[in-house]
Structure 1
Amino acid sequence: MTLLGPLLMRLQSPWTPRLADRDGTIAERLTSALAGDIIEGRLKGGDRLPAHRDLAWKLGIGIGTVTKAYAALDRRGLTRSVRGRGTFVTISQAHERRQIDLSSNVPPSVLGERLLARTLAEISRKIDVEHLTLYAPSAGHMEHRRIMARWLDMQGVTADPAHLVLTGNARQAIALAFELVCGRDGIIMAERLTYSGAIALARRSGHRIRGIDIDAEGMIPEALASALNHENAVRKTVYLTPTLHNPTTATMSSSRRHEIVNVCRNANASIVEDGVYGFAMTDLPPLAALAPDITLHVNGLSKSLGPGLRIGVLRLPAGMMADAETILRDMPMEPAPLSCALVEEWLSAGVIASIQGDLIHEARRRSDLAASLLGKAGLVTHPAACHAWLPAERTVADRLHSAAAAVGIRVTDPRTVMVDGGEPESGIRLCLGGPSFDELTEALNAFSTLANNIGQ
């Protein structure tokens, strides 16, 4: 007995029996209670679950109900049964599994090796060697700016190449735009939930940033007008993503776009339009087409062709080029000449429209999958978007973020998309483009379980 006593104590379950406060059968409520405590770390890897008979007696339920719940946990990979010893938590094994990344907002891979090989063979015969052996002008080679002007024209943005700045990516273009129109004495108005990179850039550069209320179409004009009217800053800038807003997927109607432009004109505010998702919905007018004199249009190729194509572009209103070139002399941002040559070849061959069509088709397949698995939890999707949004109270979103990490799924930290970190409402952005379709299915199934257990 003296030797057996410590062993029995070590094998005692640390779990306090309970049923989850939710609708469903007794077995489903027991499964939910145990899964939630495992996922949120109240039960650790290696912890023993109560014996079937003991748990059934304490909860006043049948042994068969306990067996059914334990089997469900085993199927989810949260526990394992050892003959003669009991059922144990296996969450520690999840930490050692590969991570599936749903935090990086990249498009699905649709570029084939044969296409790339043919393209490289073609540009090897055409590329201007001076583009590789000499420094580029601060805003980029004029030849490359003409190429990007053609590409923008496909999206409804008319651009004079002389008013374009080429950068290494769209994020650099945003940074340059903020510096040009905001400076140290201005303020940036943005959707209260917005692109994490823009928030980080604003804060790192010392720009003030304020969140504006949003609805199903994005930024609310009346809320923006009120904020602009009560702001005494010397320079006022409105940063927004009108098409497939990141992170919520909201898309402004044509009438909403006109309203936003009118509000900005009345308040003498500049617009920084993030148009990186505009390629997917070219039937709606870009803000740069409605108000070219006050809009700085940001775009890039990473979202519309592939993340390895690091080319950003900033379309400027007339009169801003000299200031941009002054900044760029101290902080050069020009893209790689080979990337520009590749885009030129694809434009000439008419390949870009085909690539983007494949991307939109794959985005629909993935958003349909996400909606089928998480639609009942309130997931917001758009058939042309490679990201989806699960609205949630901030505390719930934080728990989901931590729980997903515990089972090998990386999702966007809710804090990073919030302009005001103290707000009670946030959510989880799920990026659908990076993993293989099978990995995405696995991750979304697991995340669906988390969402159900943590209260979505």
Structure 2
Amino acid sequence: MLLQSPWTPRLAEIDASAAERLVLALADDIIEGRLQGGDRLPAHRDLAWQLEVGLGTVTKAYAALERRGLVRSVKGRGMFVAIREAHEDRLIDLSANVPPAMLSARLLARTLAGVARKIDADHLNLYSPPAGHLEHRRLLARWLETLGVRVDPANLALTSNARQAISLAFDLACGPHGVILTERVTYPGAISLARRKGYRMQGIAIDAQGMVPEALAETLEDVAASSRAVYLTPTLHNPTTATMGMARRQAIVEVCRKAGAWIIEDGVYALGPPTAPALAALAPERVFHVNGLSKSIGPGLRIGLLALPGQMVEAAQDLLQDIPMAPSPLSCAVVEEWLSSGVIASVPQDLRHEARRRSSLAVSLLGGVQFVAHPDAYHLWVPMPRDAADQLAAAAASVGIRVTPPESVMVDAGDPASGIRLCLGGPSLEDVTQGLTLLGKLMKGTQSTAT
């Protein structure tokens, strides 16, 4: 006699196909621990009847979940949950900007088995070329193309993570003791990297679409042309979530062309085909495009990419001879396996669904609080005066909630305007709910005091 399934059938409340809604509903309940490892799922026909969907819809959804390693099929018995998730964190950490967990141990085991059959032993027996193996660059150039960035593999440098790609771009675009112009609040890693390497950062005014072209043009007039670069994130900016429209992107490119300034474009947060072209597509001769897989697949997949303007390839090769940065061949082999199996295509879609769910949750829990969010981002931004932001960070810590320190995103430490970045991707949904509920009460008090 077959065990009855403990799962109450449902479809996720999102605007998507029935199969996608079923995948998300089941994935939510598995990842959040409402279904345990070994739990039986409803039979295909029973589930189709209960949800009033086609049998093919259930078959497609179960196949997608099995590819992700969340469920497993046992011949003659049915479909079962393949993982067990437990969340016992005492501290609710809303400071680390990582994507929600979408990969399982079962998927990894299946992936490594496939890699073992295919990997070229020479990739481990010999040193990698300075910019990475050509076949790996070809592979990742194909992935970049899905994001709207076309690059000749010969013009692509591979690194062990995106921050190394930013570091390489800084060195190539600025030279020693250069000036980096960036949004007045920006990615904390870029700020700390610039400071350690001796670059001076100068903040540029921002609005709802990110960097303001007129402010950039004015600042470029006052900075020496030989040692400057513009670093910016046009899609889902960190920390404000601002995304540039087509007109804004063209304006930024034209300002930099006129001033002869290099652009370093951080594209790590794009989860799929862009709604507006990447800056690298508008000005490939002027843009260093930085990307990586840790934000779009998982933090443990450490591969960075730097798409280079053609005239900078030789200089990049020279720098990489001195400080090799190529990623692990095993990481590249995992990407190759996931590209062929469809995992690389499906995970960003799942991340978008999860990001939208968590963004909607924030809207419902932070009513009355002024904040900026984007449905595709797994972080949000609460703008406020610097003093109020420091007070909120301290108050949050006192109730067991860690938030991004306000000073870490500020280019100018004396800037009176700042804010709090809240990262919603890493914690469990239960912790996000609890954290935002507590923070909502704290922020209402802080913002009312600040006004």
Q: TM above 0.5, one fold?
A: yes
Deviation beyond 4 Å, 4+ runs, structure 1: none
Separation in structure 2 between the aligned mates of residue 375 and residue 298 of structure 1, nearest angstrom = 36
3-state SS of 2:169 partner: helix
Question: Could you tell me how far apart the structure 2 residues matched to 1:261 and 1:217 are?
Answer: 15
Aligned counterpart for 1:141 among listed residues 129, 133, 144: 133
Matched, 1:415 2:398: no
Letter in 1 for 2:417: E
CA deviation map 1:109-157 (0-9, x unaligned): 0113332222111111001111112111111111111111011000000
Q: Which amino acid aligns with 2:241?
A: T
Q: CA deviation at 1:320?
A: 1.1
Paired position in structure 2 for 1:314: 306
Match status 1:98 vs 2:90: yes
State which drifts further: 351-360 or 250-259.
351-360
1:169 to 161, 166, 177: 161
C-alpha displacement of 1:392: 0.5
Counterpart residue number, 2:383: 391
Pairing partner for 2:104 from 102, 112, 126 = 112
Considering only CA atoms, is the larger Rg found in Structure 1 or Structure 2? 1
The alpha carbon displacement at 1:191 in A equals 0.2
Which residue, out of 141, 147, 150, partners 2:142? 150
State the Cα deviation string for residues 243-278 of structure 1 (Å, max 9, x = none): 000000000001100000000000000000000012
Distance 1:196 1:281 in 2: 26
Conserved? CA contact 1:293–1:318, under 8 Å: yes
Deviations 1:91-110 (A, max 9, x none): xxxxxx82111000000001
Q: Work out the CA distance in 2 between the residues paired with 1:127 and 1:406.
A: 50
Tell me if structure 2 keeps the 8 A contact 1:140–1:334. Answer: yes
What is the CA–CA distance in structure 2 between the aligned matches of 1:326 and 1:335, rounded to whole Å? 17
CA contact (8 A) 2:185 2:410 kept: yes
Unmatched 5+ stretches in structure 2: 1-88
Quote the Cα distance in structure 2 between the aligned partners of 1:312 and 1:155. Answer: 15
**Which amino acid is 2:426 matched to?**
G
Query: Which of the numbers 192, 195, 209 marks the counterpart of 2:184?
Result: 192
Distance change in 2, residues 1:293/1:402 (3 Å): same
C-alpha displacement of 1:240? 0.2
2-side partners of 1:281 and 1:416: how far apart? Answer: 30
Query: Are residues 153 and 280 of structure 1, via their aligned partners in 2, closer, same or farther at CA, if it must alter by over 3 Å?
Result: closer
- The corresponding residue for 1:339 is 331
Query: Percent identity over the alignment?
Result: 61
Q: Could you say which residue in structure 2 is the equivalent of 1:303?
A: 295
Deviates more, 1:133-142 or 1:236-245: 133-142
Of 418, 421, 424, which residue of structure 1 is paired with 2:416?
A: 424
Output aligned runs, 1:165-314, within 5 Å. Answer: 165-280=157-272, 282-314=274-306
CA distance in 2, matches of 1:275, 1:285: 11
Q: With structure 1 as the length reference, what TM-score do the two structures score?
A: 0.77
CA drift of 1:233 comes to 4.5
Distance in 2, Cα, partners of 1:313 & 1:244: 18
Gaps of 5+ in 1: 1-96
Please name the residue that 2:54 is paired with. none
For the residues of structure 2 that align with 1:281 and 1:388, how far apart are their CA atoms? 22
Q: Are the equivalent residues in 2 in contact too, given 1:236–1:268 (CA < 8 A)? A: no
Structure 2 residue 357 is the aligned partner of structure 1 residue 365: yes
Deviation at 1:279, TM superposition (A): 2.4
1:187·1:235 contact (CA, 8 Å) conserved in 2? Answer: yes
Q: Distance in 1 between matches of 2:351 and 2:275?
A: 17
| Amino acid aligned to 1:333 | M
Q: 2: distance between equivalents of 1:202 and 1:209?
A: 7
What TM-score, normalized by structure 2, do the two folds share? Answer: 0.78
Using the alignment, how far apart are the partners of 1:360 and 1:281 within structure 2? 12
Separation in 2 of the partners of 1:422 and 1:350? 48
The Cα shift of 1:350 comes to 2.2
Shift in Å, 1:162: 0.6
2:434 matched residue in structure 1: 442
Per-residue CA distance 1:259-310 (angstroms, 9 max, x = gap):
0000000000000000001224522200000000000000000000000000
Instruction: Report if aligned partners of 1:185, 1:234 keep a CA contact under 8 Å in 2.
Output: no
CA distance in structure 2 between the partners assigned to 1:165 and 1:313 by the alignment: 6
Alpha-carbon distance between aligned partners in 1 of 2:273 and 2:150, rounded to the nearest angstrom = 16
Could you say what secondary structure the match of 2:311 adopts? coil
The Cα of 1:363 is off from its aligned counterpart by: 0.5
Residue in 1 that maps onto 2:124: 132
